[in-house]
Amino acid sequence: MEVGADGVFIVGSAPVSQADHPGGQLVQGGGQRGQLGGDAHRPVIASAPVLSILDRRNTADPAGDLPRPVLDGDEPTEVVRGIIESVRADGDAALIELTTRFDGAHLDDVRVPTDDLDRAWEQTAPVLQRALEAAVASVDAYHRHQMRTSSEFVNPTTGVRIVSAYSPVRRAGCYVPGGRAAYPSTVIHTAVPARVAGVEQVVVCVPPAGADGVAPVTLAAARAAGVDEVFAVGGAQAIAALAFGTETIAPVDVICGPGNRYVALAKREVAGVVGVPSAFAGPSEVVVIADGSVPAAEAAADVILQAEHGPDGLAWLITWDEAVAEAVGAEITAQVAAAPRRSDIEATLASAGHLVLVDDLDSALAVSDRIAPEHLELLVVDAETVATRVRNAGAVFCGRFSPASVGDYLAGPSHVLPTSGTSAHASGLSVLSFLRSVQVIEYSAQALADLAERGQVAVDLHIHLVVVAVARRRAQSGLATRLAGDPAHRACSRVAPVE
């Protein structure tokens, strides 16, 4: 894994699905293309619908007018706003009613007892415990590498001292999907970065799986990740509860985590009331650029691996080689029939599965940058060099041994990434998502006196004029010199946090 100024590049040298790899129990078999634990994440090597073909060869702008799923619109937005207002008005009662309606689970209390987390951990098979601990350790190590420390700058011209200090938010809310399948990895990829940042309280909201409640493996992951509270509530109602609070759920400072269109829209609605990093972290997306250097079966699996997460996602193959297009397309067509989540894969591919033919690698990168995908896989020769040319992507995976599935679970960076084109201006979840940068500014008396000498600079606000006038008087009367050693008379101000 390499971290550059422009993003995170995952570069693999060996498969992680081997039994002797510390995370091997998290990644199921299927060559280099396995996925994490549970029946919901079996490798999607089955039969699938043919991708829609977009032939962008011999066009002036191959990236022009590309189709995208439409995730917002008046109807879903109004539904989300109605849910938010219901939770604000009725609190826990609204959460219980909405959970019964949407998840088929009637709860007396949305809080999951701490004993349930301990019990889930104790009942988890030791081999899976070790796998969860390995994932926690990997995500923890990477995010400790990201941590920022305070820095000091003294302007050599003015003598002004500026300290950039970093402090964590007090309380973070992690949203974890759970209605369609169990996602213990999302617990780890949201809670661990918050913990590393120093967040005092980390809470999780996850929808119950019907009458069975929250999946035990999700609770076990919460225990392994050091989560303080878990609430059995999902959807837009969970986002509203985290933002505004209810009788049981105290409001948080930051909400993070992926979700369906309603969850993503709800986060957009409450942004500003709370911090919402990673922009629009919605349904999963993958773009695969392939040149034939990777077997077609593996490229096909990588195209459809994110499609199993449900509707409204995006799965694209981009190539300039007709033989690659034909071989990978045939593999996809031959695959999904045996997949446990066939209907989810088919729904995604039917609405947003595309095979794009372009003239060359430059055109392929132009198309990918216009899409600005959550995951970009470079199945090409010299992928590491090609990765330096990528402008817009949540995460870039280089070469045959770096499928997006390892980034989802074991690589280290959080798998909570911007979707729906927002990677063009936003980044994935990190420790910085939970830290505030506060600038502490200190003038000495001499520096303030020097400022008075330069106080002819035009200012608009009356208060600034007053400050300059006072500084000038001090300088003229010699007061600045007499007070230079008195800390009580230093001009020290705190500027609002810069996010």
Distances (CA, A) of 241 to 106, 114, 495: 18, 20, 30
Which position among 346, 374, 377, 415 bears the catalytic label?
A: 374
Instruction: Report the alpha-carbon distance of residue 253 to residue 231 in Å, rounded.
Output: 17
Instruction: Report the alpha-carbon distance of residue 479 to residue 117 in Å, rounded.
Output: 64
Do residues 255 and 229 lie in contact, with contact meaning Cβ atoms separated by under 8 Å?
A: no
Instruction: Report the alpha-carbon distance of residue 215 to residue 185 in Å, rounded.
Output: 13
Active site residue 375: yes
Do residues 193 and 429 lie in contact, with contact meaning Cβ atoms separated by under 8 Å?
A: yes
Sheet containing strand 7-11, edge to edge, reads: 2-4, 7-11, 395-398, 375-379, 285-290, 314-319, 353-357, 52-55
Instruction: Report the alpha-carbon distance of residue 81 to residue 269 in Å, rounded.
Output: 8
Which position among 41, 354, 375, 415 bears the catalytic label?
A: 375
Phi, psi angle pair for 196, to nearest 5°: -60, -35
Instruction: Report the alpha-carbon distance of residue 91 to residue 86 in Å, rounded.
Output: 8
- Cα four-point dihedral sign 213, 217, 220, 226: negative
Contacts of 468 (CB under 8 A, 6+ apart): 451, 452, 455, 459
Instruction: Report the alpha-carbon distance of residue 263 to residue 236 in Å, rounded.
Output: 5
Do residues 91 and 246 lie in contact, with contact meaning Cβ atoms separated by under 8 Å?
A: yes
Of 137, 346, 116, 95, residue with least CA distance to 213: 116
DSSP 319-372: ES-HHHHHHHHHHHHTTGGG-TTHHHHHHHHHHHEEEEE-SSHHHHHHHHHHH-
Of 102, 180, 178, residue with least CA distance to 344: 180
Catalytic residues: 374-375
